[in-house]
Amino acid sequence: MARPDQQRRWKTVRALIACLGVFTATAGAAAADDASGEKRIALTFDDGPKGAGAFYSGAERTARLITALRAGGVDQAAFFITTKNLEGEMPARRVRAYARAGHVIANHSDQHSWLNRVSAGEYIADIDLAEEKLEGFGNRRAWFRFPYLDEGRALEKRDAVRAALAERELMSGYVTVDTFDWHMDRLVAQAKRADECIDLDGVGEIYVDMLVAAAEHFHDMALGAMGRAPAQVMLLHENDLAAMFADDLVRGLRAAGWQIITADEAYEDELATHLPETLFSGMGRVAAFAYEAGYRADRLDHPAADEAAIEARFDAAGVLTCEAL
């Protein structure tokens, strides 16, 4: 539970947000999108350039993902690079290929450390190392995505990292639509390695359906908790499922009324500059503001960020098993 002083602070923040809402409502075109409830979303891929998966080599995955994004008409996705994966020539070529295809490249740390497990000093040094390793790549953006979305569980540490980012003019490359696409990818990879019968069309349908539902969930949450429809930022990973189904995902989102926007456009939203006060950061920024508005697990959680729910969905569809034979 929050301490009373935290509760007071949240009230102040909410009051400020309410004032900003009134202010921006009179501020013109940007606010018109919010008020209309228009659904806009950018795609972002973490952890690349990852090594071989169960289906593709790293190079094949990159080629397929670029093709899928082009087929889906995605002009610009963001790739948050974990720079320890850059060893050797091919991983660097893959990052350059993403940039050449129009996508933007940003920092996801070097070692992918969990802020909870290392000191603020070590964490910041790791961010700096990743920035150094990313020097020279095209289409760079000064964004940092927190591994595990953990922005710090104690105020002092959280604020130390926030101050370090501000000093370096690095913006938090926050997400608003948290998904466990990594768990879906892991389940399908396990089935592949176990030589199970995989119905890839069925897998794709579940992938798209659960991720579109996640976008809807955070859209509704934003309308309920913030009273507006911010530009959403979907968390995905540079994995084999993304390479197989990114174009289907885009089609699914469009069919549900979503407009696919660039990462640049998404981060023009005022969410980018109004940092949440709460230490609840693990589900992304809309959830953080919803938490400040009193939302708790029953209204924050959703199946696409729930390992058991994902497993149940695959099991029910029987898409990862030869049992039907």
Nearest residue (CB) to Zn ion, 34 versus 46 = 46
Q: Which long-range contacts (CB under 8 A, 24 or more apart) does 28-31 make?
A: 30/268, 30/270, 31/228
> Euclidean distance between the first and final Cα of the chain, in Å?
51
Q: Give the count of alpha carbons within 13 A of 166, CB side only.
A: 9
Residue ranges that bind Zn ion, judged by CB under 5 A? 46-47, 147
Nearest residue (CB) to Zn ion, 147 versus 173 = 147
Please tell me what DSSP assigns to residue 177: B
Task: Please state the closest distance from residue 86 (CB atom) to Zn ion, in A.
Answer: 15
Residue nearest to Zn ion (CB): 46
Task: Please state the closest distance from residue 179 (CB atom) to Zn ion, in A.
Answer: 12
Task: Please state the closest distance from residue 1 (CB atom) to Zn ion, in A.
Answer: 30
Nearest residue (CB) to Zn ion, 107 versus 258 = 107
Nearest residue (CB) to Zn ion, 109 versus 262 = 109
Measure the CA–CA gap between 164 and 304, rounded to whole angstroms: 32
What CA–CA distances, in Å, run from 21 to 84, 144, 226?
Answer: 41, 26, 9
Nearest residue (CB) to Zn ion, 212 versus 236 = 236
Q: Measuring CA to CA, which residue among 54, 320, 55, 323 is closest to residue 198?
A: 320
Task: Please state the closest distance from residue 12 (CB atom) to Zn ion, in A.
Answer: 32
Task: Please state the closest distance from residue 112 (CB atom) to Zn ion, in A.
Answer: 6
Is residue 31 exposed (0-12), middle (13-18) or buried (19+ Cβ within 10 Å)?
middle
